């Protein structure tokens, strides 16, 4: 009795011809994946053959979101491979070409229904997107305070001999500007620097007069600082006096960038000053040259930098994140 029933079922399946889902010639360079649906009780019939090229690197058939039901490696041909389907499912057919050149393949995928009732089953897979939203805890940096610091970088007197002195009439020294600092919750940045150069008593007298003028004009607003060079770096004092007489000094500030020397500043006078809002990091060399034949001179050099310190704090907040997930659908129903 059981033998007769088995013969009857085989006979019924044999009466339903394979239905071709896709039959195509394709060029596979990297990975190609095709998705098709199958009804409960179907048989999958899979054929693929390389018609140009040595072989394809991998062939795999797998349930969508599940395990593989077939895998072959370095294959030239798969003919009439059949697999039973239990439950309505979507299957992924993945072909990996391998190598630098594409492989020309002929592929056919068919289904054999287990009855006439499932002959009209639609194997087409459509993709839909499901959107999920959630709140994610994050942190932002909020500025707490800003502090401005004036830094005296150079405060020195250089004795520069006359041009006839055996020791030479040229002095030089290196100036290192303050370095910027950055951490997660604090930054320190040089925003400007300024210099003043004055020769002898005449230069020193001019500086004292400028200090008085600066204090009367803006010193009280800057914490009663008595340094007009700091005022120059802060744009609070811009006009320095130049004595009508006195010994001059030739000077230049030389820096090196990308292997090339360039001048930040240069001049030839009794008093000189200037401000910079660029070239704020690194080092440069100050050169002083006395062209006086008989007399050595004392050169007063002042350089001040302004550094801004910013302090932050971490503030927690929640951010709405929307994520889209693609999923396959058969006949408008998720399998």
- 223, pLDDT greater than 70: no
Residue 7 CA to residue 273 CA, distance in Å, equals: 109
- The full set of domain ranges for the chain reads 14-124, 141-314
Left if phi > 0, otherwise alpha if psi is -120 to 50, otherwise beta: which for 258? left
Provide the terminal-to-terminal Cα distance of the chain, rounded to the nearest Å. 37
Q: Which of 45, 11, 14, 42 is nearest to 113 (CA)?
A: 42
- Exposed / middle / buried, residue 270 (Cβ in 10 Å: 0-12, 13-18, 19+): buried
Residue 264 CA to residue 152 CA, distance in Å, equals: 19
pLDDT of residue 5: 46
Whether the Cβ atoms of residue 271 and residue 297 lie closer than 8 Å to each other: no
Distances 263 to 10, 110, 161, 251, 286 between C-alpha atoms, Å: 96, 80, 23, 10, 10
Residue found by looking up tokens 């006359």 in the block:
162
Structure tokens at 70: 């077939």
DSSP string computed for 32-87 = EEEEEEE-TT-EEEEEEEEEESS-EEEEEEEETTS-EEEEEEEESEEEEEEEE--S
Question: What does the pLDDT look like over 97-140, one tens digit per residue?
Answer: 877 778 899 999 999 999 888 899 999 999 999 999 999 999 99
- 192, pLDDT greater than 80: yes
- Residues with Cβ within 8 Å of residue 34, at least 6 apart in sequence: 22, 92, 93, 109
- In this prediction, what percent of the chain has a pLDDT beyond 90? 73
Residue found by looking up tokens 């056919």 in the block:
108
Q: Please give the CATH architecture assigned to the domain spanning 141-314.
A: Sandwich (2.60)
- 37, pLDDT greater than 70: yes
Buried b (16+ CB within 10 A) or exposed e, 213-233: bbbeebbeebeebebbbbbbb
pLDDT of residue 156: 96
pLDDT of residue 221: 58
- Region 245-265: what's the mean pLDDT? 92
3-state class (DSSP) for residue 44? strand
DSSP 118: G
Whether the Cβ atoms of residue 62 and residue 69 lie closer than 8 Å to each other: yes
- Region 207-225: what's the mean pLDDT? 75
pLDDT band of 219, cuts 50, 70, 90: low
- Residues with Cβ within 8 Å of residue 117, at least 6 apart in sequence: none
- 13, pLDDT greater than 50: no
Structure tokens at 79: 């003919």
- Region 137-163: what's the mean pLDDT? 95
Residue 284 CA to residue 154 CA, distance in Å, equals: 12
Residue found by looking up tokens 């230049």 in the block:
252
CA 232 to chain centroid, in Å, comes to: 37
- Residues with Cβ within 8 Å of residue 241, at least 6 apart in sequence: 206, 209, 210, 271
pLDDT of residue 8: 43
pLDDT of residue 215: 84
- In this prediction, what percent of the chain has a pLDDT beyond 70? 91
Task: Classify domain 14-124 at the CATH topology level.
Answer: Jelly Rolls (2.60.120)
- 302, pLDDT greater than 50: yes
- 10, pLDDT greater than 70: no
pLDDT of residue 334: 47
pLDDT of residue 12: 45
pLDDT of residue 225: 67
- 265, pLDDT greater than 80: yes
* Least reliable range by pLDDT among 95-104, 117-126, 273-282, 286-295: 95-104
pLDDT band of 276, cuts 50, 70, 90: very high
Residue found by looking up tokens 């992924």 in the block:
92
DSSP string computed for 243-268 = -SSS--EEEEEEEEETTEEEEEEEEE
Question: What does the pLDDT look like over 15-27, one tens digit per residue?
Answer: 578 999 999 999 9
pLDDT band of 1, cuts 50, 70, 90: very low
**14-124 and 141-314, same CATH topology:** yes
- 242, pLDDT greater than 50: yes
Question: What does the pLDDT look like over 47-64, one tens digit per residue?
Answer: 999 998 888 899 999 999
């Amino acid at each position: 009795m059981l033998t007769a029933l088995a013969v009857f079922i085989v006979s019924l399946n044999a009466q339903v011809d394979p239905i071709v889902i896709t039959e195509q010639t394709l060029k596979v360079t990297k990975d190609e994946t095709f998705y098709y649906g199958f009804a409960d009780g179907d048989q999958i019939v899979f054929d693929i053959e390389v018609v140009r090229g040595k072989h394809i690197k991998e062939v795999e058939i797998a349930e969508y979101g599940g395990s593989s039901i077939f895998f072959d490696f370095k294959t030239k041909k798969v003919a009439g491979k059949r697999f039973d389907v239990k439950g309505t499912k979507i299957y992924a057919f993945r072909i990996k070409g391998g190598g630098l050149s594409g492989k020309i393949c002929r592929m056919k995928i068919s289904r054999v229904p287990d009855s006439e009732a499932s002959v009209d089953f639609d194997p087409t897979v459509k993709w839909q997107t499901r959107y999920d939203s959630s709140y994610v805890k994050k942190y932002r940096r909020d500025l707490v305070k800003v502090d401005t610091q004036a830094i005296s970088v150079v405060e020195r007197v250089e004795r520069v001999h006359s041009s006839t002195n055996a020791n030479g009439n040229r002095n030089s020294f290196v100036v290192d500007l303050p370095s910027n600092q950055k951490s997660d919750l604090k930054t320190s940045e040089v925003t400007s620097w300024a210099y003043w150069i004055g020769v002898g008593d005449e230069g020193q007298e001019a500086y004292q007069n400028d200090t008085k003028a600066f204090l009367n004009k803006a010193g009280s607003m800057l914490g009663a600082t008595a340094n007009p060079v700091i005022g120059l770096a802060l744009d609070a004092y811009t006009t320095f006096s130049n004595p009508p007489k006195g010994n001059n000094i030739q000077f230049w500030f030389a820096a090196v960038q990308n292997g090339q020397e360039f001048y930040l500043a240069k001049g030839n006078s009794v008093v000189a000053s200037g401000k910079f809002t660029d070239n704020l990091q690194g080092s440069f060399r100050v050169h002083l040259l006395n062209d006086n034949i008989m007399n050595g001179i004392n050169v007063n050099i002042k350089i001040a930098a302004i550094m801004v310190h910013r302090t932050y704090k971490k503030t927690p907040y929640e951010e709405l994140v929307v994520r889209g997930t693609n999923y396959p659908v058969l006949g408008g129903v998720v399998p």
